[in-house]
Structure 1
Amino acid sequence: MATVAHCLYCFETLAAYLEARKPMSLGEVEKSWDEYRRDPLAELGQNAEASKSGSADKPVPALARVLNSDDSTTSGSNSPSDGSTISLTAETPATSTDSLPAAGPAITESPLFVTWNTVSARTGDTSLRGCIGTFEAQELDEGLSSYAITSAIHDMRFDPITKRELPSLEAAVTLLTDFEDCDDAMDWDIGTHGLRISFSDRGRRYGATYLPDVAEEQGWTKEETLVSLMRKAGWVGKKDKWQAVDLKVVRYQGRKKSLQYPEYKRWRDWVKQKGEA
């Protein structure tokens, strides 16, 4: 599944790109994160920082949860974001998802999506800021770095992310697994499966995808999800005629992790203090 280190690496790649410096490699980030989470001074330093800012009586942000469990998400209350204006291509913009539990050996390559969300300073809610991924398996070092930049800079729905926006961002990595052809358009489960559809209508080919938690977070039925996904692909037919379209549906699952900038910065400051980068 996706890990905290994967999210740190996306932040590190984007920050380095915007700061015109060389980023740490994924291997270096993973090694450093492993050391960081075992360093009791890291959390002590965070508490000291909170005390200096006069917020020692407030709950320390989500670092403790991150340190205690690599299976927990670190985002605030997420607002739904369906990314519904982009059609499916080899590099398909999509949306953020919640985690699915997984066990087993570390993944070294996978189809993947990198999502950037803006976090509201007032409410903690998130809104989509950029998301692009691929259904072709990628070596994670190269794939995550490439799509971290691509989704931040080249998502045509948004202006490129700037350096001053970094503190307001959340990074989410989704690794895609378990691709299966559906027997029919309804052969999938809300909250478990993402969908990739393709179809032809009036001589035009269409395609689009939603990651696994879109339908659940939007409160959609299966029919509503499929119609929305067809709209995302660019289909403009009548809503009540969607079943007349011959849909090819592939279902898949997603292993996701999210992390917000303050958590990245605390780790990065620790790295600098150690003289590692």
Structure 2
Amino acid sequence: MATIEHCLYCFETLAAHLENRKSMSLKEIQKTWAKYNNDLESRAGQAADKTESLEKRIPALRRVVDSDASELSSSSSPSSGSTTSLSTATPATSLDSLPDTEDVITKSPLFVTWNTVSPRSGNTSLRGCIGTFEAQELDEGLSSYAITSAVHDTRFDPISKRELPSLEVAVTLLTNFEDCDDAMDWEIGTHGLRISFTDRGRRYGATYLPDVALEQGWTKEETLLSLMRKAGWVGRKEKWQSVDLKVVRYQGKKNSLQYPEYKQWRDWVNEADEAEA
């Protein structure tokens, strides 16, 4: 499936393009990502050791407090007071990047999607999405379509450097292409669609990734009609079923990443490079 490293690579490629610098390669990112997570695990282990040490010391501290309180009670009358508690809890550490057990994919059809994330609601809105149904070597395909979808999607203005902190990237690797028996031979939330048809001598074609219909809350009919409109068909809504649609269904293995996560990893890489220099 698409991995966090693939998403990091897209961010790194776009950032390098906008900052006019050389991008790290996919292999370099995969290597540093493994080191980055080992470092996180090491730090988490050190924090756990400190917590365990504090837990061992707490009984002794409590004995001292109880002893002081006993001495005070013999010479003064009871009074109300505040109690100080020593919390030994530490934030849970989430390592979503544990290695996948699946075989590593090196070549695949793919799409790169850029979204803008609202700082208030956290909701996302599409900022660019372009891909290919031709299998690509991922190091070349991801870097190419990361930039193409960011600056050459004609529905939007090119993404600028100042927009980077507000972005989310999603990488979808496409699999399991199958010809549908009919226009309804697919499942919402499972399949993406690629349609093609001819009407009045003109050829049309368009696609939706597997998550589109589910996110929009569309029925199958609404999805197909919207997809025909996306392809440029302007016929009457009630006439869509009279069009002879060829429908190919496929599945997508998707992962996504927001800029703050990329920035945290990139800062770690910069610090590691400086330490080695």
| TM-score (norm. length: structure 2) | 0.79
Partner of 1:216: 214
Partner of 2:182: 184
Q: Which has the higher contact order (CA 8 A, sep 6+)?
A: 1
- Conserved 8 A contact 1:195-1:251: yes
Aligned CA distance change for structure 1 residues 133 and 237 (closer, same or farther; 3 Å): same
Partner of 2:138: 140
Partner of 1:136, secondary structure, is: strand
Deviations 1:205-263 (A, max 9, x none): 00000000111111111111111111110111111111110000000000000000000
Partner of 1:121, secondary structure, is: coil
- Conserved 8 A contact 1:132-1:151: yes
Deviations 1:40-78 (A, max 9, x none): 37977xx9xxxxxxxxxxxx9xx954x23559xxxxxxx
Partner of 1:4: 4
Does residue 13 of structure 1 match 2:41?
Answer: no
Partner of 2:230: 232
Does residue 27 of structure 1 match 2:27?
Answer: yes
Report the Cα distance in structure 1 between the residues aligned to 2:222 and 2:172, rounded to whole angstroms.
23
Aligned CA distance change for structure 1 residues 255 and 219 (closer, same or farther; 3 Å): same
- Conserved 8 A contact 1:3-1:70: no
The equivalent position to 1:68 in structure 2, one of 83, 96, 112, is: 96
Report the Cα distance in structure 1 between the residues aligned to 2:42 and 2:22, rounded to whole angstroms.
24
- Conserved 8 A contact 2:37-2:97: no
Deviations 1:11-42 (A, max 9, x none): 00000011111000000001100111111379
Which letter does structure 2 place at the counterpart of 1:14? L
Partner of 1:12, secondary structure, is: helix
Which letter does structure 2 place at the counterpart of 1:169? L
Report the Cα distance in structure 2 between the residues aligned to 1:24 and 1:3, rounded to whole angstroms.
16
Residue pairs, 1:158-197, within 5 angstroms: 158-197=156-195
Which letter does structure 1 place at the counterpart of 2:160? T
| TM-score (norm. length: structure 1) | 0.79
Partner of 2:66: none
* Long gaps (5+) in structure 2: 48-90
Aligned length: 230
Q: Comparing both structures, which one devotes a greater share of its residues to helix?
A: 2
Does residue 111 of structure 1 match 2:109?
Answer: yes
Report the Cα distance in structure 1 between the residues aligned to 2:217 and 2:122, rounded to whole angstroms.
21
Aligned CA distance change for structure 1 residues 43 and 164 (closer, same or farther; 3 Å): farther
Report the Cα distance in structure 2 between the residues aligned to 1:194 and 1:163, rounded to whole angstroms.
31
Partner of 1:247: 245
Report the Cα distance in structure 2 between the residues aligned to 1:181 and 1:199, rounded to whole angstroms.
14
Partner of 1:87: none
Which letter does structure 1 place at the counterpart of 2:14? L
Deviations 1:167-186 (A, max 9, x none): 00001100000000001001
Partner of 1:274: 272
Aligned CA distance change for structure 1 residues 218 and 239 (closer, same or farther; 3 Å): same
Report the Cα distance in structure 2 between the residues aligned to 1:70 and 1:230, rounded to whole angstroms.
41
Q: Shift of the alpha carbon at 1:123? A: 0.8
Report the Cα distance in structure 2 between the residues aligned to 1:134 and 1:149, rounded to whole angstroms.
14
Q: Shift of the alpha carbon at 1:201? A: 0.2
Report the Cα distance in structure 2 between the residues aligned to 1:184 and 1:103, rounded to whole angstroms.
36
Identity of aligned residues (%): 77
- Conserved 8 A contact 1:42-1:270: no
- Conserved 8 A contact 2:115-2:167: yes
Report the Cα distance in structure 2 between the residues aligned to 1:3 and 1:239, rounded to whole angstroms.
39
